[in-house]
């Protein structure tokens, strides 16, 4: 939408009649500076829904006639279809009217005259915008919720293809214990599921309807706030009119939950950037999601993953902006609060894109099982399993840890890459001082391929744990569909 006014002389804002002079529309910079129209037009549906509910309540309280109500509803429906069709080109958008609320109301007055002039009875833009934002967050939540599920489905489907590939796990980015790829994919699934649950919990945590709070103090008219709350389905009327108009907690909670999602996605992106490097070569990204270099002809850079990681900084920025915006203002509406929507929409759009992009990447990536297998013998991944073998033979864990440490040292001294390269005699000799024996079944506890089958603890990231978790998530998804 254009920030320029289409008219040559500025409008007198319908709410600035107390001014003797021209008012704030006369200076184009002031008109643009005070306006939120370049971002709040996306609230038009919520604004119209709020107005319909408010009008129905005013009518029930005998503050609107039957005819007023039907005129208002007719006008609002026409405006909604016009904006649906014309979007940014709708002729009612006028920056001198500051925002979506005033543009819709001015168009309504133009269509319906006095009926439209009565709509703002007992209402202020302060409770109106607080309501609109709550309604928008509820709608936005419904759209983004499915994106989490799509990503979880993508992780599940990759796990079904490549989940049994045996690979190293890493702590401190050093080889730790063997796992299967599916074990790690289930880790991302659990984290994304939690991010989805967190968003749901925060969005639903304080269902309150600010409408009817007016500008700050409420109204001397007999507004029925419970009625609008019921019509709008946003929860009960907020307890206090000052808090109802001053609070932006719902927006901040929303962006906090989005920030946690972005953080999780960024962490995943970082992991896969490493996995896609030549040094690791654990995964192959689809060509769709890599880019070339303008200078180096061979390059296939994981730019999409890097941008998932990069965009999180902007999302955090919006959260900090919201927290900073609210920290210094008195309890009641201050115009600073108008900026909230800019921050909330920006964070939301970025996280929506990141979730969609992550889904597309996960859907098309494959684990390079053979490449991973070729180096699986490096790093003594089975050392912990060998210590647990000794625990099963009655050796205290601290002692078995020490024994296996000395066996690793022996391998390194003898240029053996793997613990399974040691004979039973060599094992016994190297740990003579501890008086332990080894049977040939020790080899069942060695090699990453054997170890991933042995994990028993619930939630493990080896083969049994992966299979159990995969079954769990498939069940969850099947029940979601019902």
Residue closer to ligand ARG (CB basis): 24 or 301: 24
State how far Cα 114 lies from the chain centre.
44
Helix 125-162 × helix 249-275 angle, to 10°: 20
Token pair 């070729």: residue: 374
Residue closer to ligand ARG (CB basis): 125 or 225: 125
Q: Smallest distance, Å, CB 248 to ligand ARG? A: 10
Q: Smallest distance, Å, CB 341 to ligand ARG? A: 6
Q: Smallest distance, Å, CB 240 to ligand ARG? A: 18
Of the residues 9, 142, 172, 220, only one is catalytic, namely 172
Residue closer to ligand ARG (CB basis): 327 or 335: 335
Tokens of 52: 């319909």
Residue closer to ligand ARG (CB basis): 13 or 311: 13
Query: Which residues of the chain form contacts with ligand ARG (CB under 6 A)?
Result: 36, 40, 98-99, 125-126, 129, 333, 335, 337-338
Q: Smallest distance, Å, CB 179 to ligand ARG? A: 50
Of the residues 293, 313, 406, 472, only one is catalytic, namely 293
Q: Smallest distance, Å, CB 284 to ligand ARG? A: 48
- Report the alpha-carbon distance of residue 421 to residue 464 in Å, rounded: 26
Q: C-alpha angle with apex 171: 169 to 172, nearest 5 degrees?
A: 135
Q: Smallest distance, Å, CB 239 to ligand ARG? A: 21
Residue 54: active-site member: no
Residue closer to ligand ARG (CB basis): 39 or 367: 39
Residue closer to ligand ARG (CB basis): 153 or 340: 340
Q: Smallest distance, Å, CB 333 to ligand ARG? A: 5
- Report the alpha-carbon distance of residue 136 to residue 210 in Å, rounded: 14
CA terminus-to-terminus distance, the chain? 41
Q: Smallest distance, Å, CB 340 to ligand ARG? A: 7
Q: Smallest distance, Å, CB 335 to ligand ARG? A: 6
- Report the alpha-carbon distance of residue 36 to residue 319 in Å, rounded: 19
Give a three-class secondary structure readout of the chain: CCCCCCCCCCCCCCCCCCCCCCCHHHCHHHHHHHCCHHHHHHHHHHHHHHHHHHHHHHHHCCCCCHHHHHHHHHHHHHHHHHHHHHHHHCCCCCHHHCCHHHHHHHHHHHHHCHHHHHCCCCCCHHHHHHHHHHHHHHHHHHHHHHHHHHHHHHHHHHHHHHCCCEEEEEECCEEEEEEEHHHHHHHHHHHHHHHHHHHHHHHCCCCCECCCCCCCCCCCCCCCHHHHHHHHCCCCECCCHHHHHHCCHHHHHHHHHHHHHHHHHHHHHHHHHHHCCCCCCCEECCHHHCECCCCCCCCCECHHHHHHHHHHHHHHHHHHHHHHHHHCCCCCCCHHHHHHHHHHHHHHHHHHHHHHHHHHHHHHCEECHHHHHHCCCCCCCCHHHHHHHHHHCCCCHHHHHHHHHHHHHHHHHCCCCCHHHCCHHHHHHHCHHHCCCCCHHHHHHCCHHHHHHHCCCCCCCCHHHHHHHHHHHHHHHHHHHC
Residue 169: active-site member: no
Residue closer to ligand ARG (CB basis): 94 or 359: 94
Residue closer to ligand ARG (CB basis): 40 or 388: 40
Residue closer to ligand ARG (CB basis): 128 or 385: 128
Query: Which residues are catalytic, by number?
Result: 172, 293
């Amino acid at each position: 939408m254009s920030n320029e006014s289409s008219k040559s002389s500025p409008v007198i804002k319908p709410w600035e009649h107390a001014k003797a002079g021209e008012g704030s529309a006369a200076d184009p910079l002031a008109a643009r500076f005070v306006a939120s129209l370049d971002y709040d037009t996306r609230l038009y549906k919520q604004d119209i829904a709020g107005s319909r509910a408010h009008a129905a309540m005013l009518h029930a309280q005998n503050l609107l006639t039957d005819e007023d109500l039907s005129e208002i509803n007719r006008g609002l429906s026409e405006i909604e279809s016009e904006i649906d069709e014309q979007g940014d080109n709708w002729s009612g958008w006028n920056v001198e009217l500051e925002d979506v609320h005033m543009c819709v109301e001015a168009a309504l007055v133009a269509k319906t005259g006095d009926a439209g002039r009565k709509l703002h009875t007992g209402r202020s833009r302060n409770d109106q915008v607080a309501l609109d934002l709550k309604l928008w967050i509820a709608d936005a939540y419904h759209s983004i919720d499915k994106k989490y599920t799509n990503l979880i489905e993508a992780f599940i489907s990759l796990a079904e293809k490549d989940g049994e590939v045996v690979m190293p796990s890493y702590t401190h980015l050093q080889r730790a214990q063997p796992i299967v790829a599916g074990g790690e994919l289930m880790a991302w699934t659990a984290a994304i599921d939690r991010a989805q649950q967190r968003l749901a919990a925060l969005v639903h945590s304080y269902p309150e309807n600010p409408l009817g709070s007016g500008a700050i103090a409420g109204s001397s008219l007999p507004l029925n706030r419970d009625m609008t709350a019921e019509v709008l389905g946003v929860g009960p009327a907020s307890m206090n009119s000052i808090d109802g108009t001053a609070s932006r907690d719902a927006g901040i909670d929303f962006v906090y939950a989005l920030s946690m999602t972005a953080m999780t996605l960024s962490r995943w992106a970082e992991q896969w950037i490493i996995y896609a490097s030549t040094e690791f070569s654990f995964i192959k990204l689809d060509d769709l999601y890599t880019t070339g270099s303008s200078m180096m002809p061979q390059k296939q850079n994981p730019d999409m993953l890097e941008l998932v990681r990069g965009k999180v900084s902007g999302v955090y920025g919006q959260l900090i902006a919201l927290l900073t915006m609210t920290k210094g203002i008195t309890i009641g509406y201050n115009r600073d609060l108008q900026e909230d929507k800019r921050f909330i929409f920006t964070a939301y759009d970025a996280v929506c894109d990141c979730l969609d992009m992550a889904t597309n990447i996960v859907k098309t990536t494959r684990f390079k099982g053979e490449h991973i297998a070729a180096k699986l013998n490096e790093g003594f991944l089975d050392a912990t399993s060998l210590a647990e073998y000794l625990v099963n033979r009655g050796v205290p864990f601290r002692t078995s840890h020490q024994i296996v440490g000395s066996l690793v040292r022996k391998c390194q001294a003898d240029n053996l890459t793997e613990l399974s390269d040691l004979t039973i005699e060599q094992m016994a000799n190297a740990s003579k001082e501890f008086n332990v024996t080894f049977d040939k079944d020790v080899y069942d506890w060695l090699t990453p391929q054997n170890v991933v089958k042995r994990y028993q603890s619930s939630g493990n990231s080896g083969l049994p744990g992966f299979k159990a978790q995969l079954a769990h998530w498939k069940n969850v998804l099947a029940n979601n569909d019902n």
